[in-house]
Amino acid sequence: MKLNFKNDYNTIGDIKILNKLIEYKDEKNIGYGEDYHSKELNDMVNSIIGKNSDTYILSGGTITNVIGLSQILKYPYEAVITGENSHINVHETGAIEASSHKIILTPLKNGKIDISKIKDTYNRFTDNHMVLPKCLYLSDANELGLTYTIEELKEISNICKELNLYFFIDGARLSQSLVSEGYTLKDIASLCDMFYLGGTKNGLPFGELLVIINDELKSNFKFLLKNKLGLLAKGFVGAIMFKEYLKDNYYLTLASKALTYANKIRDRLNKYLIYPNKTNQIFIKVSNDIFDKLNEQVEFEIWEVSDSYKVIRLVTSYNTNDDEINELFNIFDKLGL
Amino acid sequence: MKLNFKNDYNTIGDIKILNKLIEYKDEKNIGYGEDYHSKELNDMVNSIIGKNSDTYILSGGTITNVIGLSQILKYPYEAVITGENSHINVHETGAIEASSHKIILTPLKNGKIDISKIKDTYNRFTDNHMVLPKCLYLSDANELGLTYTIEELKEISNICKELNLYFFIDGARLSQSLVSEGYTLKDIASLCDMFYLGGTKNGLPFGELLVIINDELKSNFKFLLKNKLGLLAKGFVGAIMFKEYLKDNYYLTLASKALTYANKIRDRLNKYLIYPNKTNQIFIKVSNDIFDKLNEQVEFEIWEVSDSYKVIRLVTSYNTNDDEINELFNIFDKLGL
Amino acid sequence: MKLNFKNDYNTIGDIKILNKLIEYKDEKNIGYGEDYHSKELNDMVNSIIGKNSDTYILSGGTITNVIGLSQILKYPYEAVITGENSHINVHETGAIEASSHKIILTPLKNGKIDISKIKDTYNRFTDNHMVLPKCLYLSDANELGLTYTIEELKEISNICKELNLYFFIDGARLSQSLVSEGYTLKDIASLCDMFYLGGTKNGLPFGELLVIINDELKSNFKFLLKNKLGLLAKGFVGAIMFKEYLKDNYYLTLASKALTYANKIRDRLNKYLIYPNKTNQIFIKVSNDIFDKLNEQVEFEIWEVSDSYKVIRLVTSYNTNDDEINELFNIFDKLGL
Amino acid sequence: MKLNFKNDYNTIGDIKILNKLIEYKDEKNIGYGEDYHSKELNDMVNSIIGKNSDTYILSGGTITNVIGLSQILKYPYEAVITGENSHINVHETGAIEASSHKIILTPLKNGKIDISKIKDTYNRFTDNHMVLPKCLYLSDANELGLTYTIEELKEISNICKELNLYFFIDGARLSQSLVSEGYTLKDIASLCDMFYLGGTKNGLPFGELLVIINDELKSNFKFLLKNKLGLLAKGFVGAIMFKEYLKDNYYLTLASKALTYANKIRDRLNKYLIYPNKTNQIFIKVSNDIFDKLNEQVEFEIWEVSDSYKVIRLVTSYNTNDDEINELFNIFDKLGL
């Protein structure tokens, strides 16, 4: 089997998390998230963020984006603003549109939403022959592993308030932003209307924790969750895992491990880096010759293809270990990287 | 904690299944069901059913019903025929309609679809001011724990062929039908166009195994799966579990255990039974007085409420044990049941 | 050409209405219902009903039902209650479901909604595994030409208020109810949240006048109208027609004409009538022998087919005339009807 | 009232068309497009295009685009490729997305689709995490009044065939292209799979004539038409109008009249023109000072706003006359244009 740096969801899950499933395997619980673990989890979250939120666990990122945004966007003419490279625009097979909503693109700057252009984008929509912008969506960290600073998030939050836009943060890789930027879940919760903390890409077999902050968005969410196919029968499975994940900031421990290894790779490949990110994704530009040789020995994602070069993505995770890094660096050595 | 006979999805999962997750926890796999476990699982299924099917794992019953039927029903005017008490009509919060399709109701007979009425139902749809029936859906076992005999399934299958209807079998509790009626997955696969074998209600933390038999229904299903929110990032988690579930007919072993306990309860409560089913759900009619006392000591589902009586549902599972049954029978003793 | 009593939309339109189009043919107007005719029409309606409504013209009944109900039902889990024989359930090719909403059926009594059962129907929906009833829909007159009395409408209105249901009246043939039951548009507007006054079936080439009474339902309707395909570029065409239609109660004049002829036919065919309605639709039960002979000479709708008899529907309209009635009666004479 | 050059749908309709409605006002016809006029119209179209098409009349452009494309795009992951400035992307309030489909943008060149980039756009879609392109949509003439040459249309048609994309032409203003470019309906029909000939913007009170060429796209369209709210009860009204519209190429006569007046204005305003189109829309760039004065006396569309200038759109139609042009030129004279 090739060395695998393809993504951060290539292993089942962290042993502490899995052991919790063994521990509770015979406990009989009520279904559909009405169990006591789900309640305890919600309390934990509220305690962490210092707010009275509603929390739900969904199976993955796309379904969380779509159902979360469907709660925000009531009518089909209501639209979400985001950048061209965002997950909902590029990698969800049209799931947002399949939920009847248009995605409005706002310009990017160095791979992130250009904050200075949001108002202009909003102001292009002037009458009932065009959609009505109701929400701004971004991922933190985003598809390129880029993170928003706390100042940037505050600025965006203020613009959203001014324009009467809801602010939704896709946190599939939020733990990476937290360990990299140094802000907290409490900070995030104070700035947006809805966000989620990803589990799938940071040590859980599945699961994203959706946190609804704004009271206006809480009503009847359980109906939407079932109607839009997101309600899990054994809600307590996710709740037990997420309690362990949040306990003693274990999600940050897992994310830090991934980040440490990523930083090692970045240090090593410094001159090949093409996005100045600080998270567990490393994008490098290599010649086609190097690419071919790497490709024989390492699983990675091909990001961009041209006649003269290729951009590839390496990803570390909670599960990366020293042996893998050593082996990877040996390969680099042989290739002169 | 009260004795819990509320449903068959009240515990995390069977230990053999969970141990497999521990066993494979560090193996690095490709995402989105493109891994070798998923391929091996598909091969196992094909070997079992003697057909060249496509298999997919989804997180739960409702999402499997909706995405499966969405593959079958291409245009929004295409409709599915089923009985009034079916899961898609009653307990999915309008998810089929939210996917743009009308549910056509056909009469029931003793809680199951009245086979003799299917053609009449179909023939009511005569022009483009009405929907176009394209599929027949049933659950085996159904919401009342009732199973279809092999003869009934063959008859329905023939009617569907004659009327050019696709035949979809919701198998959330199919293992119960298999152990109770004695037919096999191969039988099921020979009679319908698409079915699924449930895991959630028979020992898995989550997961339903969708099997597409009819070649006409295979095309581009992966696109639909992502678009309709069903594609799991860590597809290999489900595949590893389902391989163990199918191996040596372990799904039947688990189902048999539940059935054995259910039969014990049925023997004991014989005169209170109200649906003549042979699976792991037991429906009994009790006086309001008995109900109140039972309700203090046992978790169950309330099925029907009237001034003079109540119908309650008790459910056994792979996880039920002798102690629980003894305790339950002690309670019955005290109540004179 | 056969004598045509097939429906009330079989001729282009009344000459007074059409002449208005000729009269205004060169006047240049603003598009999309922003013109002065549309404003004048809204003022006329408000003056008639004594309320501050918003009015819109849509091309036909189905599109008015679907967009009206889509304004009322925001989320896909919100559902509309109606009777089994209602237009949205039977004759709209699943258009309501294609707009993501389930139709909840409530029992009928003599062809109309059984008012005493509405609460029971509502109360069946108890949790988030079922849809959420948010609206009651009925047609007045309905598919069988039956009308609701003012007392019945008041009772239904009160029940809706009590249950927090919006009340929507499909008035494709409302003019028939008005002339038959003796109540007014003002009465209707005082009892419901949204209704429409049909034009297509009473002398207009096309057009239904949607009246939104409840302020909660007015917001951003123009966006939904465009998004759901109902916004007409030349809104002024419909407005000019409807102004003439409402002026001096011309819609009642047209409807009365249809009703007078219908009553003549009813008097003549008294013993063959099968629905006790008082509007422009006449349902009669005839032997297959009579049916065959009638069918050679008259266009009508076949309503019910059996081995021993048929039910047919004859419909009169604003365009029916004495000659047609005489010719029809001559045919009846020859057939011994 | 101000001189009105705001659009080409600002008057009810041409007198020859309207007189046909008067002429046939008492003829009794079958509903829903099953009448003999609709059949004769279909025959006329087939005779004109030399193909065996299916024709339908819808009320306006947006509904024709959406239902036409919904027939082509069966599954929600199937997407349509078009340019950023296209009507479906900009001016339909998200109606395509509300029908569950994503719009893929392909680069423009001088306001029209850049033909050399279509394949690149198509090739960006590589797996089931992205939508599946199935159709190319363009308007001829487009939103900027620009037309495609016959050579361009042929090239696009060939690319579509090569890529297995359906080719849909929005012909809301197709008559303008026909009189301007000199090709015919037969040419159009030979190159695409589905197109429509607009009536609303060229002398009809309402109505677009959808022509389905490709046999694969004909099946059950009547069901979709009803389900998606486009089926008109009095189909014969549109058919009678379109028969007159097509007879002796009257649609070209009407379009030529509009074009002649547009050319006069273009000749006059030559140095202010900003899009090099040859149809009935004239886009000019004027100083804010001139804009203010023009705006007091003429109704037009504001197209672009900047601190130093404005772009406005003047539109002529079948209904424009010499007096209006003279009056307009007088205003130009006074403003020194």
pLDDT at residue number C222:
98
For B193, counting Cβ atoms within 10 Å of its Cβ (0-12 exposed, 13-18 middle, 19+ buried), the class is buried
In this structure, is the dihedral angle defined by the CA atoms of residues C236, C241, C247 and C251, taken in order, positive or negative? negative
Task: List, in sequence order, every beta strand (DSSP E) within D91-185.
Answer: 103-106, 108-109, 112-113, 132-139, 166-170
Closest chain B residue to the Cα of C99, Cα to Cα:
B100
**Contact with chain D for residue B220, Cβ under 8 A:** yes
Mind listing the pLDDT tens digit for each residue in A91-141? 999 999 999 999 999 999 999 999 999 999 999 999 999 999 999 999 999
- Mutation target to probe the C interface, by most C beta carbons within 10 A, among D5, D229, D298, D321 is D229
pLDDT at residue number B1:
74
Long-range Cβ pairs for the range D26-30 (8 Å, 24+): D26/C11, D26/C12, D26/C319, D27/C11, D27/C12, D27/D236, D28/C1, D28/C4, D28/C6, D28/C10, D28/C11, D28/C299, D28/C319, D29/C10, D29/C11, D29/D234, D29/D236, D30/C6, D30/C10, D30/C299, D30/D236
Amino acid letter, residue D114: D
Comparing CB atoms, the residue among C4, C25, C94 nearest residue D15 is: C25
Of all helices (H) and strands (E), which one includes residue B137?
Answer: strand B132-139
Mind listing the pLDDT tens digit for each residue in C127-183? 999 999 999 999 999 999 999 999 999 999 999 999 999 999 999 999 999 999 999
Q: Which chains sit next to C, with 3 or more Cβ pairs under 8 A?
A: A, B, D
Mind listing the pLDDT tens digit for each residue in A182-217? 999 999 999 999 999 999 999 999 999 999 999 999
Comparing CB atoms, the residue among B128, B225, B228 nearest residue D223 is: B128
In sequence order, the 6+-apart residues with CB closer than 8 A to the CB of D276 are D110, D146
Q: Which residues numbered 102-141 in A keep a CB inside 8 Å of some CB on C?
A: 128-129, 131-132
Shortest distance, CA B257 to any CA of chain C (angstroms): 28
- Per DSSP bridges, beta strands A103-106 and A78-83 are parallel
Comparing CB atoms, the residue among B74, B77, B231 nearest residue D75 is: B74
Amino acid letter, residue A161: K
Q: How many angstroms separate the CA atoms of A307 and A310, rounded?
A: 8
Are C77 and A224 a contacting pair, CB within 8 Å? yes
In sequence order, the 6+-apart residues with CB closer than 8 A to the CB of D233 are C9, C60, C61, C200, C201, C206, D31, D32
* Letter string b/e over residues A101-123, b meaning 16 or more CB atoms within 10 A of that residue's CB: bbbbbbebeebbbebeebeebbe
Instruction: List residues bridging with A97 in a β-sheet.
Output: none
- Per DSSP bridges, beta strands C194-198 and C208-212 are antiparallel
Inspect the interface and report whether the beta carbons of A97 and D93 lie closer than 8 Å: no
Span C15-249 CATH architecture: 3-Layer(aba) Sandwich (3.40)
Reported residue count of chain A is 337
Tokens of A163: 């324009």
Shortest distance, CA B212 to any CA of chain D (angstroms): 17
SS3 D165: coil
Tokens of C114: 């059984």
- Ordered DSSP codes for B177-197: HHHHH---HHHHHHH-SEEEE
Are A321 and A257 a contacting pair, CB within 8 Å? no
Are C307 and C244 a contacting pair, CB within 8 Å? no
- Ordered DSSP codes for C312-331: EEEE--TT--HHHHHHHHHH
Amino acid letter, residue D326: N
Q: Give every residue of chain A whose pLDDT is below 50, as ranges.
A: none
Q: Enumerate helices (H) and strands (E) in chain D, giving the number of each.
A: 14, 14
**Contact with chain B for residue A63, Cβ under 8 A:** yes
Q: Which residues numbered 151-210 in D keep a CB inside 8 Å of some CB on B?
A: none
pTM of the model: 0.97
Are A208 and A170 a contacting pair, CB within 8 Å? no
Fold of A3-9+251-335: Aspartate Aminotransferase, domain 1 (3.90.1150)
Are D88 and D56 a contacting pair, CB within 8 Å? no
- State the maximum Cα–Cα separation within chain B, in Å, rounded to a whole number: 62
**Other Cβ atoms within 10 Å of A149 Cβ, number:** 14
CA-based nearest residue to D179, from D256, D79, D97, D76: D256
Instruction: List residues bridging with C212 in a β-sheet.
Output: C54, C194
- Ordered DSSP codes for C10-60: -SS--HHHHHHHHHTTT----STT-SHHHHHHHHHHHHHHTS--EEEEESS
CATH 3.90.1150.10 maps onto chain A at: 3-9+251-335
Inspect the interface and report whether the beta carbons of D90 and A130 lie closer than 8 Å: yes
Task: List, in sequence order, every beta strand (DSSP E) within chain D.
Answer: 3-4, 54-58, 78-83, 103-106, 108-109, 112-113, 132-139, 166-170, 194-198, 208-212, 281-287, 298-299, 301-305, 309-315
Q: Enumerate helices (H) and strands (E) in chain B, giving the number of each.
A: 14, 14
Inspect the interface and report whether the beta carbons of B227 and A93 lie closer than 8 Å: yes
Inspect the interface and report whether the beta carbons of A76 and D97 lie closer than 8 Å: yes
Sheet containing A166-170: give its strands across.
A54-58, A208-212, A194-198, A166-170, A132-139, A78-83, A103-106
**Contact list, D94 vs chain C (CB under 8 Å):** 227
- Mutation target to probe the B interface, by most B beta carbons within 10 A, among D67, D127, D128 is D128
Shortest distance, CA B38 to any CA of chain C (angstroms): 31
**Other Cβ atoms within 10 Å of D258 Cβ, number:** 26
**Contact list, D67 vs chain C (CB under 8 Å):** 229
Comparing CB atoms, the residue among A15, A30, A93 nearest residue B226 is: A93
Task: State the DSSP code for B166.
Answer: E
3-state helix, strand, coil in chain C (%, to 5): 45, 20, 35
CATH 3.40.640.10 maps onto chain A at: 15-249
Separation in Å, CA C178 to CA B60, B239, C186, C238 = 52, 64, 11, 22
- Mutation target to probe the A interface, by most A beta carbons within 10 A, among B229, B314, B320 is B229
Reported residue count of chain D is 337
Inspect the interface and report whether the beta carbons of D75 and B224 lie closer than 8 Å: yes
**Contact list, D91 vs chain A (CB under 8 Å):** 129-130
Closest chain A residue to the Cα of C230, Cα to Cα:
A129
**Contact with chain A for residue D101, Cβ under 8 A:** yes
Write down the residue that tokens 């299903």 correspond to.
B221
Write down the residue that tokens 């109360």 correspond to.
C123
Are B81 and B108 a contacting pair, CB within 8 Å? no
Inspect the interface and report whether the beta carbons of C11 and D30 lie closer than 8 Å: no
**Contact with chain A for residue C28, Cβ under 8 A:** no
**Contact with chain A for residue C75, Cβ under 8 A:** yes
**Contact list, A225 vs chain C (CB under 8 Å):** 128
Question: Using N-to-C axis directions, what is the helix angle for C15-23 and D15-23, rounded to 10°?
Answer: 170
Query: pLDDT tens, position by position, for chain D (337 residues)?
Result: 789 999 999 999 999 999 999 999 999 999 999 999 999 999 999 999 999 999 999 999 999 999 999 999 999 999 999 999 999 999 999 999 999 999 999 999 999 999 999 999 999 999 999 999 999 999 999 999 999 999 999 999 999 999 999 999 999 999 999 999 999 999 999 999 999 999 999 999 999 999 999 999 999 999 999 999 999 999 999 999 999 999 999 999 999 999 999 999 999 999 999 988 999 999 999 999 999 999 999 999 999 999 999 999 999 999 999 999 999 999 999 999 8
CA-based nearest residue to B7, from B328, B335, B312: B312
SS3 A270: helix
Inspect the interface and report whether the beta carbons of A75 and C74 lie closer than 8 Å: yes
Comparing CB atoms, the residue among A79, A97, A131 nearest residue D102 is: A97
If you count residue pairs, one on A and one on C, with CB atoms under 8 Å apart, how many are there?
A: 52
Inspect the interface and report whether the beta carbons of C91 and B128 lie closer than 8 Å: no
Write down the residue that tokens 């003599």 correspond to.
C110
Write down the residue that tokens 């001014």 correspond to.
A162
Inspect the interface and report whether the beta carbons of A10 and B29 lie closer than 8 Å: yes
Mind listing the pLDDT tens digit for each residue in C227-252? 999 999 999 999 999 999 999 999 99
Q: How many angstroms separate the CA atoms of D149 and D276, rounded?
A: 13
Q: How many angstroms separate the CA atoms of A84 and A138, rounded?
A: 11
Task: List, in sequence order, every beta strand (DSSP E) within B152-296.
Answer: 166-170, 194-198, 208-212, 281-287
Tokens of A291: 């690419």
Q: Give every residue of chain B whose pLDDT is below 50, as ranges.
A: none
Inspect the interface and report whether the beta carbons of A22 and B31 lie closer than 8 Å: no
Of all helices (H) and strands (E), which one includes residue B3?
Answer: strand B3-4
pLDDT at residue number C11:
98
In sequence order, the 6+-apart residues with CB closer than 8 A to the CB of B137 are B65, B69, B80, B81, B82, B86, B88, B168, B169, B170
Q: How many angstroms separate the CA atoms of C132 and C81, rounded?
A: 10
Instruction: List residues bridging with C108 in a β-sheet.
Output: C113
**Contact with chain C for residue D95, Cβ under 8 A:** yes
Inspect the interface and report whether the beta carbons of A95 and B67 lie closer than 8 Å: no
Rounded to a whole number of angstroms, the CA Rg of chain B reads 20
**Contact list, D224 vs chain B (CB under 8 Å):** 75-77
Residues C296-322 have a mean pLDDT of: 95
